[in-house]
Amino acid sequence: MKITAKFLDANETATGGLVLWLNKGEKQSPLVRKVDKALNGHITQIIKERDFSGNALETLSFDTLGQHPAKRILIIGLGEKADVTAETIRQASGKSATAMKQAGIKIYISTLARAQAKQATPAELAQAIAEGTLLALYTFDKLKSEKETKKIDELKIVARSAKEEGLMTKGAKKGVTLAESACLARDLINSPGNFATPSHLADQARKISREFGIRTKILDAKAIEKLQMGGLMGVASGSHQPAKFIIMEWLKGPKAEKPILLVGKGLTFDTGGISIKPAGGMEEMKSDMSGGAAVIGAMRAISALKMKVNVVGLVPATENMPGGSAIKPGDVLKGLSGVTMEVINTDAEGRLILADALAYAERYKPDCVIDMATLTGACMVALGDFASGLFGNDETLIKQLKETSEEIGEPCWPMPLWPEYEALIKSDVADVKNVGPRAGGAITAAAFLKKHVGAETKWAHIDVAGTAYTAKARHYITKGGVGLGVRHMVRFIEKRTDVK
């Protein structure tokens, strides 16, 4: 799909569709008034008839029957003017794109970048429009005989001037890159476990690296064993699929600048191992590598945008299967950090493989380490499916992650990580055990990860168990893999390094 910014008169340009907007309680904006006049007051009439009030994401759509250069007009509500943000525009763009697609429109124009949004430039609004549009139009039909037939070919975003057109073109281009990278992560998440194996993740990382110039190394089972990554080796022991440890380096920033480390859980299918999960809904455990998919997607975006930063992505990838050689409850593993780990529940495997990746991250003497993982059902109980859990050992880092998550519409909520929780995972036979009591399970899981982080390392953990995969579509989030974390990490890195 082609997305461009154009300095044009939306009231005089022939197109399949035209997206207009109104704030709550606003009878007509100048742009709507101009189009209404061309339609001899039809918009005023239809707003009154359908009791359209401009509430956020409320829509009104009609065919112009040849009375306007646009064959179809869609008016979308943005809510209270004072509350409009780039995320509002992103959501409105997603809903608009879906409506245009359903109506069979091939080419349409959006005026949403002309809305007033808090702390957002026209370029940032063009970026939000591109993101919302492409994310909403995403489909996963690669394995279907019958493909999606309705497609939009082009979107033109209206600019106020030729100068603004240039700035918005850059913003839209960036939005396309971010959305495509998030959709790559979605593809990985939505692919079934017999396709998206650890080797497949490694192959995708290599493919991206060749395309965008990322230095990538894949450690195989022998190299993993040689490094004495006991957590990753232990979880992989029950599977016929060989484990992989993916290392992606983008070191294009100042040489003296310490790298930011991104770590993602790459559990390509999770049966629970010997502590096997119930059968109902187990097919969704293909999404247990959402954190790893986010890291791979983020590395694609960072390199495609040619960001002058130092970032390294690490993805420990394996399956968790109940094979004859699988780890058992009561087994003790020794991680790369040297910490010994008693396995109480083999279904708490994500923290075991992340432990080795976090320990490996120390080799880079990082500025900070961020890990993302579908780690605990307990986090879903605490925060539902709207916000991810945010844990860490540095207040500035946590604040930056929280603020940037809200900017891009993937909110994280800080959770406590007090010493009292660490006491709950002390083992009688090893340094730590991999689960504590049922209560506070998301926090004790984070406390387990903290044991493998250097004492001086600034670290944060994002538990995306409730947010990385959804059974219900909303605005620009489609059913299945969300691609969560890709856009967030890019925005966070921009803020952390002051580089865009």
Active site residues: 277, 351
Q: Is 245 exposed, middle or buried (0-12, 13-18, 19+ CB in 10 A)?
A: buried
Distance between CA atoms of residues 488 and 387, nearest Å:
13
Residue 277 phi/psi, 5-degree rounding, is -75, 160
What per-residue string of b and e applies to 51-85 under the rule 16 or more CB within 10 Å gives b? ebebebbbbbbeebeeebbbbbbbbbbbbebeebb
DSSP for 62-102? EE-TTSSSEEEEEEEE---GGG--HHHHHHHHHHHHHHHHH
Name the region of 104 (left: φ>0; alpha: ψ -120 to 50; beta: rest). left
| Identity at 171, one-letter amino acid code | G
Distance between CA atoms of residues 42 and 44, nearest Å:
5
Name the token pair of 95.
Answer: 């809903």
- C-beta of residue 91 within 8 angstroms of C-beta of residue 57: yes
Distance between CA atoms of residues 421 and 445, nearest Å:
9
DSSP-derived 3-state class of residue 316:
strand
DSSP secondary structure code for residue 335 in this structure? -
- C-beta of residue 259 within 8 angstroms of C-beta of residue 312: yes
- Comparing CA positions, the residue from 76, 6, 67, 13 lying closest to residue 36 is 67
Distance between CA atoms of residues 197 and 286, nearest Å:
10
